Chain A
Amino acid sequence: MSEHWNILLKVSRQKQGETPRFDDFKIEVDPDEYVLDAVERVWAFMDRTVCFRHACHHSTCGACGMRVNDVEKLTCITYIRDVTHDGGTLKVEPLRNFPVVSDLVVDMGSLYNRLELVGARSVLPVPEAEIENPPATWPEEYGQYIRLADCIECGLCISACPSAATSSDYLGPAVLAGAQANGLKRNPELLDLVDSEDGVWRCHSAFECTSVCPSFVDPGRRIMDLRTQVVKRRFVNLFRKA
Protein backbone atom coordinates (compact mmCIF):
# COMPACT_ATOMS: atom_id res chain seq x y z
CA MET A 1 0.00 0.00 0.00
CA SER A 2 1.48 3.32 -0.98
CA GLU A 3 2.03 6.08 1.55
CA HIS A 4 0.46 9.52 1.19
CA TRP A 5 1.95 12.84 2.20
CA ASN A 6 0.40 16.27 2.04
CA ILE A 7 2.98 18.81 0.99
CA LEU A 8 3.11 22.46 -0.04
CA LEU A 9 4.68 22.79 -3.47
CA LYS A 10 6.03 26.30 -4.01
CA VAL A 11 6.69 26.93 -7.69
CA SER A 12 8.78 29.88 -8.84
CA ARG A 13 6.82 31.85 -11.43
CA GLN A 14 8.22 34.44 -13.78
CA LYS A 15 6.85 35.49 -17.16
CA GLN A 16 8.57 37.83 -19.59
CA GLY A 17 10.49 40.15 -17.32
CA GLU A 18 8.22 39.89 -14.28
CA THR A 19 9.77 39.85 -10.84
CA PRO A 20 9.92 36.22 -9.68
CA ARG A 21 7.28 35.10 -7.18
CA PHE A 22 6.15 31.79 -5.71
CA ASP A 23 2.77 30.18 -6.37
CA ASP A 24 1.73 27.70 -3.69
CA PHE A 25 -0.02 24.41 -4.40
CA LYS A 26 -1.22 22.03 -1.70
CA ILE A 27 -0.96 18.54 -3.12
CA GLU A 28 -1.07 14.95 -2.02
CA VAL A 29 1.91 12.85 -3.08
CA ASP A 30 3.41 9.44 -2.63
CA PRO A 31 6.82 10.15 -1.05
CA ASP A 32 8.35 7.58 -3.38
CA GLU A 33 7.33 9.62 -6.38
CA TYR A 34 9.83 11.99 -7.92
CA VAL A 35 9.80 15.77 -7.64
CA LEU A 36 9.08 15.99 -11.36
CA ASP A 37 5.90 13.96 -10.81
CA ALA A 38 4.67 16.58 -8.33
CA VAL A 39 5.39 19.43 -10.75
CA GLU A 40 3.64 17.54 -13.55
CA ARG A 41 0.61 16.95 -11.33
CA VAL A 42 0.31 20.67 -10.68
CA TRP A 43 0.56 21.33 -14.41
CA ALA A 44 -1.94 18.59 -15.28
CA PHE A 45 -4.63 19.28 -12.70
CA MET A 46 -4.12 22.72 -11.14
CA ASP A 47 -2.37 25.22 -13.40
CA ARG A 48 -1.74 24.57 -17.08
CA THR A 49 0.38 27.73 -17.39
CA VAL A 50 3.29 26.36 -15.35
CA CYS A 51 6.28 26.05 -17.68
CA PHE A 52 8.98 23.43 -17.13
CA ARG A 53 11.22 21.20 -19.23
CA HIS A 54 11.20 17.42 -19.17
CA ALA A 55 11.49 14.54 -21.58
CA CYS A 56 12.95 11.16 -20.72
CA HIS A 57 12.03 10.77 -17.02
CA HIS A 58 15.11 8.58 -16.42
CA SER A 59 18.09 10.95 -16.10
CA THR A 60 19.27 10.68 -19.68
CA CYS A 61 18.08 13.88 -21.34
CA GLY A 62 19.13 16.34 -18.62
CA ALA A 63 16.11 18.55 -19.28
CA CYS A 64 14.45 18.64 -15.87
CA GLY A 65 17.22 20.24 -13.78
CA MET A 66 15.82 22.62 -11.15
CA ARG A 67 16.69 23.97 -7.72
CA VAL A 68 14.77 21.91 -5.18
CA ASN A 69 14.73 23.41 -1.69
CA ASP A 70 17.80 25.50 -2.66
CA VAL A 71 19.85 22.60 -4.02
CA GLU A 72 20.32 21.72 -7.69
CA LYS A 73 18.61 18.44 -8.52
CA LEU A 74 17.63 16.40 -11.54
CA THR A 75 13.97 16.24 -10.62
CA CYS A 76 13.17 13.03 -12.51
CA ILE A 77 15.40 11.00 -10.16
CA THR A 78 14.94 12.98 -6.94
CA TYR A 79 12.57 11.21 -4.56
CA ILE A 80 10.17 13.50 -2.72
CA ARG A 81 11.02 11.52 0.42
CA ASP A 82 14.64 12.66 0.15
CA VAL A 83 13.92 16.39 0.02
CA THR A 84 10.92 17.04 2.27
CA HIS A 85 8.61 15.37 4.80
CA ASP A 86 4.89 14.86 5.39
CA GLY A 87 3.40 18.33 5.89
CA GLY A 88 6.61 19.88 4.59
CA THR A 89 7.44 22.31 1.80
CA LEU A 90 8.92 21.58 -1.58
CA LYS A 91 10.30 24.70 -3.26
CA VAL A 92 11.18 24.46 -6.94
CA GLU A 93 13.07 27.21 -8.75
CA PRO A 94 14.82 27.53 -12.11
CA LEU A 95 18.55 26.88 -12.36
CA ARG A 96 20.77 29.83 -11.52
CA ASN A 97 23.19 31.52 -13.91
CA PHE A 98 21.03 30.94 -16.99
CA PRO A 99 18.48 33.49 -18.23
CA VAL A 100 14.94 32.51 -17.31
CA VAL A 101 12.67 32.08 -20.30
CA SER A 102 9.53 31.29 -18.30
CA ASP A 103 8.89 29.91 -14.80
CA LEU A 104 11.23 26.91 -14.44
CA VAL A 105 12.57 27.03 -18.00
CA VAL A 106 16.00 28.55 -18.57
CA ASP A 107 17.89 29.32 -21.76
CA MET A 108 20.72 26.76 -21.88
CA GLY A 109 22.06 28.01 -25.23
CA SER A 110 25.34 29.29 -23.76
CA LEU A 111 26.12 25.84 -22.33
CA TYR A 112 25.39 24.01 -25.58
CA ASN A 113 27.43 26.49 -27.65
CA ARG A 114 30.43 26.18 -25.34
CA LEU A 115 30.24 22.39 -25.26
CA GLU A 116 30.42 22.53 -29.05
CA LEU A 117 33.35 24.94 -28.83
CA VAL A 118 35.44 22.44 -26.85
CA GLY A 119 34.30 19.51 -29.00
CA ALA A 120 32.64 17.73 -26.07
CA ARG A 121 31.59 14.35 -27.38
CA SER A 122 28.17 12.91 -26.65
CA VAL A 123 29.44 9.41 -27.46
CA LEU A 124 32.94 8.05 -27.12
CA PRO A 125 34.80 4.77 -27.74
CA VAL A 126 34.37 2.34 -24.87
CA PRO A 127 38.11 2.08 -24.08
CA GLU A 128 38.20 5.87 -23.56
CA ALA A 129 35.22 5.85 -21.19
CA GLU A 130 35.84 5.98 -17.48
CA ILE A 131 34.25 2.74 -16.30
CA GLU A 132 34.36 1.47 -12.76
CA ASN A 133 36.79 -1.46 -12.40
CA PRO A 134 37.87 -1.54 -16.05
CA PRO A 135 39.80 -4.57 -17.27
CA ALA A 136 43.60 -4.23 -17.25
CA THR A 137 43.60 -4.60 -21.01
CA TRP A 138 40.60 -4.03 -23.24
CA PRO A 139 39.77 -6.82 -25.67
CA GLU A 140 40.58 -5.58 -29.15
CA GLU A 141 36.99 -5.80 -30.38
CA TYR A 142 35.84 -3.32 -27.71
CA GLY A 143 37.57 -0.61 -29.68
CA GLN A 144 34.78 -0.64 -32.22
CA TYR A 145 32.06 0.00 -29.64
CA ILE A 146 30.94 3.40 -28.44
CA ARG A 147 28.94 4.51 -25.43
CA LEU A 148 27.09 7.63 -24.36
CA ALA A 149 29.23 10.15 -22.49
CA ASP A 150 28.43 10.57 -18.81
CA CYS A 151 27.58 14.28 -19.08
CA ILE A 152 23.89 14.73 -19.82
CA GLU A 153 24.27 18.52 -20.25
CA CYS A 154 21.75 19.29 -17.51
CA GLY A 155 23.52 22.48 -16.35
CA LEU A 156 23.23 21.71 -12.62
CA CYS A 157 26.98 22.23 -12.16
CA ILE A 158 26.86 25.71 -13.68
CA SER A 159 23.89 26.64 -11.52
CA ALA A 160 25.67 25.49 -8.34
CA CYS A 161 29.05 27.05 -9.16
CA PRO A 162 29.67 30.28 -7.19
CA SER A 163 32.22 31.45 -9.75
CA ALA A 164 29.68 31.10 -12.55
CA ALA A 165 27.33 33.45 -10.68
CA THR A 166 29.59 36.44 -11.26
CA SER A 167 31.11 35.80 -14.67
CA SER A 168 29.08 35.21 -17.81
CA ASP A 169 32.30 34.48 -19.75
CA TYR A 170 33.40 31.63 -17.49
CA LEU A 171 33.37 28.41 -19.51
CA GLY A 172 31.89 26.58 -16.54
CA PRO A 173 32.34 23.11 -15.02
CA ALA A 174 30.46 21.07 -17.64
CA VAL A 175 32.38 22.67 -20.50
CA LEU A 176 35.78 22.28 -18.85
CA ALA A 177 34.90 18.68 -18.03
CA GLY A 178 33.95 18.23 -21.68
CA ALA A 179 37.32 19.62 -22.76
CA GLN A 180 39.12 17.28 -20.38
CA ALA A 181 37.13 14.28 -21.58
CA ASN A 182 37.79 15.23 -25.18
CA GLY A 183 41.48 15.11 -24.38
CA LEU A 184 44.06 17.87 -24.57
CA LYS A 185 46.62 15.56 -26.14
CA ARG A 186 44.24 14.87 -29.00
CA ASN A 187 43.18 18.53 -29.21
CA PRO A 188 46.17 20.68 -28.20
CA GLU A 189 44.38 23.81 -29.46
CA LEU A 190 42.04 23.50 -26.45
CA LEU A 191 44.93 24.28 -24.10
CA ASP A 192 44.84 27.98 -24.94
CA LEU A 193 41.08 28.05 -24.38
CA VAL A 194 41.18 26.38 -20.99
CA ASP A 195 44.42 28.02 -19.81
CA SER A 196 42.77 31.42 -19.56
CA GLU A 197 41.09 33.80 -17.13
CA ASP A 198 37.69 32.33 -18.00
CA GLY A 199 38.99 28.78 -18.17
CA VAL A 200 40.42 26.63 -15.40
CA TRP A 201 41.70 29.63 -13.43
CA ARG A 202 38.21 31.02 -12.83
CA CYS A 203 37.40 27.92 -10.76
CA HIS A 204 37.88 28.57 -7.04
CA SER A 205 37.69 24.97 -5.87
CA ALA A 206 34.25 25.02 -4.27
CA PHE A 207 33.54 21.56 -5.77
CA GLU A 208 29.80 22.33 -5.76
CA CYS A 209 29.74 21.07 -9.36
CA THR A 210 30.83 17.62 -8.27
CA SER A 211 28.39 17.65 -5.35
CA VAL A 212 25.33 18.25 -7.53
CA CYS A 213 26.32 16.31 -10.67
CA PRO A 214 23.70 13.57 -11.14
CA SER A 215 25.78 11.64 -13.62
CA PHE A 216 29.16 10.92 -11.99
CA VAL A 217 31.05 13.25 -14.32
CA ASP A 218 32.93 14.73 -11.35
CA PRO A 219 33.63 18.08 -13.07
CA GLY A 220 35.74 19.29 -10.13
CA ARG A 221 38.22 16.45 -10.55
CA ARG A 222 38.35 17.02 -14.30
CA ILE A 223 39.02 20.75 -13.86
CA MET A 224 41.85 19.94 -11.44
CA ASP A 225 43.24 17.47 -13.98
CA LEU A 226 43.14 20.19 -16.64
CA ARG A 227 44.96 22.54 -14.27
CA THR A 228 47.68 19.97 -13.70
CA GLN A 229 48.10 19.57 -17.46
CA VAL A 230 48.16 23.36 -17.95
CA VAL A 231 50.77 23.86 -15.22
CA LYS A 232 52.92 21.09 -16.73
CA ARG A 233 52.77 22.77 -20.12
CA ARG A 234 53.75 26.14 -18.66
CA PHE A 235 56.63 24.52 -16.79
CA VAL A 236 57.90 22.75 -19.91
CA ASN A 237 57.56 25.94 -21.98
CA LEU A 238 59.56 27.85 -19.38
CA PHE A 239 62.58 25.63 -19.99
CA ARG A 240 62.04 25.50 -23.73
CA LYS A 241 62.27 29.30 -23.95
CA ALA A 242 65.34 29.33 -21.74
Chain B
Amino acid sequence: MDIRHNRPSPTKFWNWFNPVGRQTGGWAFILHRITALGLTFYLYLHLAVLGQLAKGPEGYDGFLALVRNPIAIAGELLVVAAGILHGLNGIRIILTTFGLSVTRQKQLFYVLMVIALVVILIFGSRMFTA
Protein backbone atom coordinates (compact mmCIF):
# COMPACT_ATOMS: atom_id res chain seq x y z
CA MET B 1 0.00 0.00 0.00
CA ASP B 2 1.43 3.35 -1.03
CA ILE B 3 0.38 6.19 1.22
CA ARG B 4 3.02 8.73 0.24
CA HIS B 5 0.70 11.50 -0.80
CA ASN B 6 -0.73 14.13 1.47
CA ARG B 7 1.88 13.88 4.25
CA PRO B 8 3.08 17.03 6.02
CA SER B 9 6.34 18.32 4.57
CA PRO B 10 8.45 21.50 4.90
CA THR B 11 8.20 21.83 1.12
CA LYS B 12 4.49 22.57 1.57
CA PHE B 13 5.28 25.99 3.06
CA TRP B 14 3.37 27.54 0.16
CA ASN B 15 0.24 26.21 1.87
CA TRP B 16 0.75 28.96 4.43
CA PHE B 17 -0.10 31.53 1.79
CA ASN B 18 -3.06 29.74 0.22
CA PRO B 19 -6.15 31.75 1.16
CA VAL B 20 -8.65 29.22 -0.24
CA GLY B 21 -10.94 27.93 2.49
CA ARG B 22 -9.27 29.99 5.22
CA GLN B 23 -11.23 31.88 7.82
CA THR B 24 -10.49 35.01 9.86
CA GLY B 25 -7.63 33.54 11.92
CA GLY B 26 -6.17 32.01 8.77
CA TRP B 27 -6.27 35.36 6.98
CA ALA B 28 -4.48 36.93 9.96
CA PHE B 29 -1.87 34.15 9.79
CA ILE B 30 -1.28 34.76 6.06
CA LEU B 31 -1.06 38.52 6.57
CA HIS B 32 1.42 38.04 9.40
CA ARG B 33 3.66 35.80 7.27
CA ILE B 34 3.60 38.06 4.22
CA THR B 35 4.35 41.21 6.24
CA ALA B 36 7.13 39.39 8.11
CA LEU B 37 8.77 38.37 4.82
CA GLY B 38 8.33 41.88 3.42
CA LEU B 39 9.91 43.49 6.47
CA THR B 40 12.80 41.01 6.41
CA PHE B 41 13.39 41.83 2.74
CA TYR B 42 13.26 45.53 3.56
CA LEU B 43 15.82 45.10 6.35
CA TYR B 44 18.38 43.87 3.82
CA LEU B 45 17.38 46.58 1.37
CA HIS B 46 17.81 49.15 4.14
CA LEU B 47 21.29 47.86 4.93
CA ALA B 48 22.17 48.08 1.22
CA VAL B 49 20.93 51.69 1.17
CA LEU B 50 22.95 52.56 4.23
CA GLY B 51 25.92 51.08 2.41
CA GLN B 52 25.66 54.09 0.08
CA LEU B 53 27.07 56.15 2.95
CA ALA B 54 30.39 54.45 2.38
CA LYS B 55 30.52 56.20 -1.01
CA GLY B 56 30.56 59.59 0.69
CA PRO B 57 28.01 62.45 0.93
CA GLU B 58 27.72 62.84 -2.83
CA GLY B 59 26.89 59.21 -3.43
CA TYR B 60 24.29 59.14 -0.63
CA ASP B 61 22.68 62.45 -1.65
CA GLY B 62 22.54 61.26 -5.23
CA PHE B 63 20.79 58.09 -4.14
CA LEU B 64 18.27 60.04 -2.04
CA ALA B 65 17.49 62.30 -4.98
CA LEU B 66 16.88 59.18 -7.06
CA VAL B 67 14.27 57.76 -4.63
CA ARG B 68 12.29 61.01 -4.22
CA ASN B 69 9.54 59.99 -6.60
CA PRO B 70 5.96 58.70 -6.10
CA ILE B 71 6.88 55.08 -6.82
CA ALA B 72 9.61 55.04 -4.17
CA ILE B 73 7.30 56.81 -1.69
CA ALA B 74 4.62 54.19 -2.38
CA GLY B 75 7.25 51.55 -1.62
CA GLU B 76 8.06 53.29 1.65
CA LEU B 77 4.36 53.39 2.47
CA LEU B 78 4.21 49.63 1.88
CA VAL B 79 6.99 49.20 4.45
CA VAL B 80 5.14 51.40 6.93
CA ALA B 81 1.90 49.47 6.28
CA ALA B 82 3.68 46.14 6.76
CA GLY B 83 5.17 47.35 10.04
CA ILE B 84 1.81 48.57 11.34
CA LEU B 85 -0.10 45.44 10.25
CA HIS B 86 2.57 43.09 11.61
CA GLY B 87 2.90 45.02 14.86
CA LEU B 88 -0.81 45.24 15.60
CA ASN B 89 -1.45 41.61 14.67
CA GLY B 90 1.54 40.73 16.85
CA ILE B 91 -0.21 42.38 19.79
CA ARG B 92 -3.24 40.16 19.09
CA ILE B 93 -1.03 37.06 19.09
CA ILE B 94 0.67 38.09 22.37
CA LEU B 95 -2.68 38.75 24.02
CA THR B 96 -4.12 35.41 22.95
CA THR B 97 -0.93 33.60 23.96
CA PHE B 98 -1.50 34.84 27.49
CA GLY B 99 -5.11 33.75 27.41
CA LEU B 100 -6.57 37.21 26.81
CA SER B 101 -9.33 37.69 24.24
CA VAL B 102 -8.89 34.15 22.91
CA THR B 103 -12.60 33.68 22.37
CA ARG B 104 -12.76 37.17 20.83
CA GLN B 105 -9.71 36.84 18.60
CA LYS B 106 -11.71 37.44 15.41
CA GLN B 107 -13.27 40.66 16.69
CA LEU B 108 -9.86 41.74 18.03
CA PHE B 109 -8.37 41.19 14.57
CA TYR B 110 -11.08 43.27 12.87
CA VAL B 111 -10.68 46.15 15.36
CA LEU B 112 -6.90 46.15 15.01
CA MET B 113 -7.12 46.08 11.22
CA VAL B 114 -9.46 49.09 11.23
CA ILE B 115 -6.95 50.92 13.43
CA ALA B 116 -4.16 49.84 11.06
CA LEU B 117 -6.09 51.15 8.05
CA VAL B 118 -6.65 54.54 9.68
CA VAL B 119 -2.98 54.87 10.68
CA ILE B 120 -1.80 53.80 7.22
CA LEU B 121 -4.07 56.39 5.60
CA ILE B 122 -2.70 59.12 7.89
CA PHE B 123 0.88 58.07 7.09
CA GLY B 124 0.06 57.90 3.39
CA SER B 125 -1.51 61.35 3.24
CA ARG B 126 1.45 62.88 5.08
CA MET B 127 4.07 61.10 3.01
CA PHE B 128 2.54 62.09 -0.32
CA THR B 129 1.80 65.68 0.67
CA ALA B 130 5.09 66.42 2.45
Find A70's partner among B5, B21, B93 (CB 8 Å cutoff). B21
Q: Is the interface of B mostly helix, strand, loop or mixed?
A: helix
> Does A165 sit at the interface, judged by CB under 8 A?
yes
- Number of A positions contacting B (CB below 8 A): 41
Q: How many Å from the CB of B115 to the closest CB on chain A?
A: 19
Given A221-B103, A224-B97, A227-B97, CB of A162 within 8 Å of CB of B29: yes
Chain A residues with Cβ under 8 A from B28's Cβ?
205-207
Tell me whether A166 and B6 are in contact (CB under 8 A). no
> Is the beta-carbon distance between A99 and B3 smaller than 8 angstroms?
yes
Cross-interface CB contact of B29 among A100, A205, A225, A227, cutoff 8 Å: A205
Least CB distance from A94 to B in Å reads 7
Which residues of B are found within 8 Å of A107, using beta-carbon distances?
Answer: 3
Interface range, B side: 20 to 34
- Within 8 Å by CB of B4, from A17, A160, A207, lies A17
Q: Is the CB of B8 within 8 A of A228?
A: no
A205 near B97: Cβ-Cβ < 8 Å: yes
Given contacts A167-B8, A168-B9, A211-B24, 7 further A-B contacts (CB under 8 A): A17-B2, A17-B4, A67-B21, A99-B3, A107-B3, A162-B15, A220-B105
Which chain B residues have a beta carbon within 8 Å of chain A's beta carbons?
A: 1-10, 12-13, 15-16, 20-26, 28-29, 32, 92-93, 96-99, 102-103, 105-106
- CB<8 Å pairs between A and B, sample of 6: A16-B1, A94-B6, A165-B13, A205-B28, A208-B22, A218-B103
